[in-house]
Amino acid sequence: MAKADFIKNHPHFKLALPFKEMIVFESLLRKADIDFYREDNPLLFGGIVTYFLLDDNRYEINTLIKENRLDSGTETITVTDYRGLKKMYKLYALIVAVLIIIFAIFA
């Protein structure tokens, strides 16, 4: 709890990531020796994990997120799983194409 108090009592920001990227993100933070505090309720609000991070580390964290292509957001910018949506749209397009072909054969 000392780390949480330290981070919350110094200039900090909140960062939201999908639950599925929690292990990768925390591993990157530990490798870079960046202090962080994570809220312990990741299953609430659609599987989003909220991190408290020091403002001093903002540039390094931004670089880690960009280099590793992690989906992230803040309290005002929500996290969207674009990779998951892309897969869903590909499946939707495939189903529509199959239906069109079936309709063309039997029409």
Q: Which token pair is 63?
A: 């670089």
pTM, full prediction: 0.61
Full residue range of the structural domain in which residue 46 is found:
2-80
In a domain, 20, yes or no: yes
In a domain, 98, yes or no: no
A 10 A CB-CB count for 37 gives 19
Query: Averaged over 31-36, what is the pLDDT?
Result: 90
Cα distance between residue 9 and residue 50, in whole Å: 17
CATH number at residue 20: 3.30.70.240
Q: Is the pLDDT of residue 6 over 80?
A: no
Q: Tens digit of pLDDT for each residue in 35-86?
A: 888 876 655 556 778 888 888 888 898 888 888 888 776 554 555 555 666 7
